[in-house]
Amino acid sequence: MNNGRIENIGTFDTLADVLLKSIKRQDSQEDVKKAEVKEMPTKKHERMLSIVSVASSIGKEFTEVEQNIQEEVEKGQLSFSMYIQYYRTGASICLLVCMLLLFLIAQVFSNGCDLWVAHWTNGETANAANNTKYTVNVSSAKSNEINNIENSYDFIESQKNYIYIYTIFIAGSIILTTARSLLFYQVCMNASKGLHNKMFSNVLKAPMRFFNTNPSGRILNRFSRDIGAVDEILPKATIDAITAFLVMLGILMMVFIVTPWMILPAVILGILFYFFRRVYLSSAQDIKRIEGVNRAPVFSHISATLYGMSTIRSSKAEEMVIHEFDSLQDQHTGSWFMFLACSGALGFYLDCISLAFLILVTFQFLIMETNSGMSGNIGLVVSSSMILIGMLQLGVRQTTEVSSNMTSVERVMQYTKVEKEEELNPEATEKPKNWPSAGKIAFKNTYLRYAPEDPPALKSLNIVIQPGEKIGIVGRTGAGKSTLISSLFRLAPIDGTIAIDDIDTSTVSLEHLRSNISIIPQEPILFSASIRYNLDPFNKVSDDVIWQALNDVELKDTIESLDQKVCEGGSNFSAGQRQLVCLARAIIRNNKILVMDEATANVDPHTDSLIQTTIRENFKDCTVLTIAHRLNTIMDCDKVLVMDSGKAVEFEAPHRLLQLPGGFFTKMVEKTGPAMEAQLRQIAKIAYKLED
């Protein structure tokens, strides 16, 4: 059925096949249109398609028409300030300077071990040359160095001194290296916690437009993959890179001490190394950013698929959904493979650079006759240069890994700069006591825009709701019913005035405003915690009050204990029971204003009747706003507000509105059919007489 007309008729299997073919036909037509658009030379930008997360019922009218904005992607190389912000989040400048000195001192002790072993070896060689009975022909250069070594025996009296000094270097290297690693990981842990907490705080306080324009997968991507990279990959890659370059620096210093002329080829090779690294980073960072952007739709698709699993299976659309997922996964895998290919190419060129340096170092001892021809020096330089190959490969790989994973820090930083609701309403700071005490609500020339460039979704609203009145809000889809509730909670920028008990809500802090208005949404929200936490998360009431609220909604016999666990999403309760738990929560809050956003739309008639009865008994002195899904639930209200295109077109008692032939509310009642119309008119008439 559609608008009172029969569109299709047949068995379930037949209709399911027809619906699935229709969906596939629409998809193929959209693909053809996209191909035609791509061929147009004047078209510069393509429309970005993304899967929209399931929004809350309060903002559903907005999300139906709101387009998801394209994800912000930085370009070019990462600025040095990004590194400073990251480490400043984890430690103070003084601690960072101390950590840097600790790295340098630890490396000095580590290289001191190698230098001392070389000195020890040369000393033993010189001692053996002096004590041997055989004549050893050595060059004059070597003889001079042997004489210098003999003079050093003035303060090295025995071989034990060599062992003692070597032990000091080894112990210092172990202790300082361990200390620097622990300190560095602690700084990184503090930085990761700080970034996560700041991002989490900003997202929680972000305006609703942020959630309406960013799919859930995009937000989950920041909190899962990006935070995971900052937690696990980035610290290890960073300390490996720092260690590798300190080791390389120490090796080069030892080579320069033994053979000073090697400074020139080292500088040339260093320039080549810098050139290859820069070429790699210019593409690798952008590829890494693209990989992060391509990952978000995968999360969104999985989230949407899990939420709509029953619909997908009933429509037999599994193959279509699998095809969509494979396409998204192929895009992500392609960008990830490109990143790995770039890393492999960089490793090959670095191996060539390292091999060239090793050849120069080795053959210079064979070609040139220098003062560095002692066996200890030769062994030290050659073995260190061989280590240099692995260190250079590791160091550059890890530095590029650091630069690539710093894009995760960059993406997290973007969400730490999200504008907060408090910043949009800096003057909203008041927290009046015992407010609201009556529940009077006045809308004065109120306009609401979800975005400054959008037309108003709520237009020139001027109504006054007296304390204790029960108001039913009706209208077709998109008429502005939920938008009116959004304005009451100030979920979007508002022009005009909304006053509660003669206090302008724009001057009241958002936390104080929202905590003093109760709401029962269409989709009940339960936390994965105990019953007590779901009903009283701030521990403000006693257990007796909680049990009384459960008794009011007839759930006392169902709940075994207040410590009973609620599964994820309240899956261990039926839809009606979840709605009753939300109603019990509102009873405990005992606020003067209650909002019901189509709370009985998805429950059975018995639960609907129970909810209506409970509201009449427990909220008789409160102002109740009910967005109606079934007209019979609001026919006994004090007044009915009819919305159309964001405007209030009718606002009066139901019985009086039904006396207007051709009125908006009258037409809505007439569309229910003659029998239901007569019943609704009778309910409205009885309620009107009782009120009089």
State the pLDDT at residue 36: 45
Higher pLDDT, 381 or 467: 467
Among candidate residues 391, 421, 451, the one where a domain is terminated: 421
Which residues have CB under 8 Å from 61's CB, separation 6+? 457, 477, 478, 480, 481, 482, 483
Q: What are the tens digits of pLDDT across the range 172-208? A: 889 998 999 999 999 999 999 999 999 998 898 888 8
Concatenated DSSP letters of 381-406: HHHHHHHHHHHHHHHHHHHHHHHHHH
Of 380, 403, 421, which residue sits at a domain end?
421
Give the pair of three-digit tokens for residue 68.
Answer: 């998801």
Q: Do residues 656 and 489 touch, judged by C-beta distance below 8 A?
A: no
Position 362 pLDDT exceeds 80: no
CA dihedral over 9, 12, 18, 23, signed as positive or negative = positive
Complete DSSP assignment for 533-550: HHH-TT--S-HHHHHHHH
Q: Taking the model in full, what pTM does it have?
A: 0.66
Give the pLDDT score at 183: 92
pLDDT score at 110: 84
Predicted confidence (pLDDT) at residue 476 exceeds the cutoff of 80: yes
Flag whether pLDDT at 306 surpasses 80: yes
- pLDDT, position 542: 87
Residue 614 lies in a domain: no
Examine the domain organization and report whether 529 and 417 are in the same domain.
no
Give pLDDT, residue 182.
92
> What is the band of 38 on the pLDDT scale with cuts at 50, 70, 90?
very low
Report the relative pairing of strands 623-627 and 458-465 from DSSP bridges. Answer: unpaired
pLDDT at position 487 over 50: yes
**Residue 293 pLDDT:** 77
Residue 481 lies in a domain: no
**Mean pLDDT, rounded, for 486-509:** 88
**In this structure, which long-range contacts are made by residues 507-510, counting pairs with CB atoms below 8 Å and at least 24 apart in sequence?**
507/427, 507/428, 507/429, 507/430, 508/428, 508/430, 508/431, 508/432, 508/435, 509/428, 509/429, 509/430, 509/431, 510/421, 510/422, 510/425, 510/428
What is the SS3 string spanning 548-565? HHHHHCCCCCCCCCCCCE
Q: Is the pLDDT of residue 497 over 60?
A: yes
What are the pLDDT digits (tens) for 134-169? 444 444 444 555 455 554 444 445 677 778 888 888
pLDDT tens digits for range 76-114: 566 788 888 889 888 888 999 999 999 889 888 887 887
Q: What is the DSSP string of 612-643?
A: HHHHHHHSTTSEEEEE-SSGGGTTTSSEEEEE
φ, ψ at 595 (rounded to 5°): -115, 130
Least confident segment among 235-249, 371-385, 407-421: 371-385
Q: What is the pLDDT of residues 385-443, one digit of tens each?
A: 677 667 776 777 787 778 878 888 988 988 888 888 876 677 767 788 888 888 889 99
Q: Is 149 helix (H, G, I), strand (E, B) or coil?
A: helix
In angstroms, rounded to a whole number, what is the distance separating the alpha carbons of residues 12 and 488?
43
Quick one: tokens of 474? 């009706």
Give how many domains the chain has, as a whole number. 2
- The whole-angstrom separation of Cα 680 and Cα 60 is 28
Return the pLDDT at 288: 74
What pLDDT is attached to residue 56?
36
Measured from the Cβ of residue 155, the count of other Cβ atoms closer than 10 Å reads: 7
What pLDDT shows up at residue 197? 92
Query: Quick one: pLDDT band at residue 43, thresholds 50, 70, 90?
Result: very low
Q: Which residues of 496-506 are buried (b: 16+ CB within 10 A; e: fewer)?
A: bebbbbebebb
199: exposed, middle or buried (Cβ count in 10 Å: 0-12, 13-18, 19+) = buried
d(CA 669, CA 677): 6
For all residues of the chain together, what is the average pLDDT?
A: 78
Categorize the per-residue pLDDT at 35 as very low, low, confident or very high, splitting at 50, 70 and 90.
very low
Nearest-CA neighbor of 634 among 583, 664, 599? 599
Higher pLDDT, 44 or 362: 362
Examine the domain organization and report whether 417 and 533 are in the same domain: no
Give the residue from 404, 421, 438 where a domain finishes. 421
Domain hosting 97: range is: 83-130+157-421
Question: Does residue 127 have a pLDDT over 70?
Answer: no
CA nearest neighbour of 489 among 598, 580, 587, 594: 594
Which residues lie below 8 Å from residue 360, measured CB to CB, with a gap of 6+?
A: 262, 265
Please count the residues of the chain: 692
What is the C-alpha separation between 49 and 444, in angstroms, rounded? 39
pLDDT band at 369 (very low <50, low <70, confident <90, very high): low
Choose the weakest-confidence range: 107-116, 366-375, 453-462, 678-687.
366-375
Tell me if residue 529 falls in helix, strand or coil.
coil
Q: What is the pLDDT of residue 77?
A: 62
pLDDT digits (tens, 9 = 90+) for 265-304: 777 777 877 787 778 777 777 787 787 778 778 877 888 8
Task: pLDDT band for 33, please (50, 70, 90 cuts).
Answer: very low
Give the per-residue pLDDT at 65: 35
Q: Is pLDDT larger for residue 584 or for residue 399?
A: 584
Residue 533 and residue 413 share a domain: no
Taking residue 675's Cβ as centre, other Cβ atoms within 10 Å add up to 8
For residue 45, the model assigns a pLDDT of: 34
Whether residue 253 contacts residue 108, with contact meaning beta carbons closer than 8 Å, is answered with no
Q: What residue has token string 């061989």?
A: 386
- pLDDT higher than 60, residue 370: no
Mean pLDDT along residues 650-675: 87
106 in any annotated domain: yes
The answer to whether residue 644 is domain-embedded is no
* CATH code for the domain of 248: 1.20.1560.10
595-632: pLDDT as tens digits: 988 767 667 777 777 888 888 888 888 899 988 877 88
For the residues 487-513, what does the mean pLDDT come to? 88
- The stretch 299-320 carries a mean pLDDT of 84
Q: Select from 369, 118, 124, 152 the least CA-distant residue to 251.
A: 118
In three-state secondary structure terms, 449 is: coil
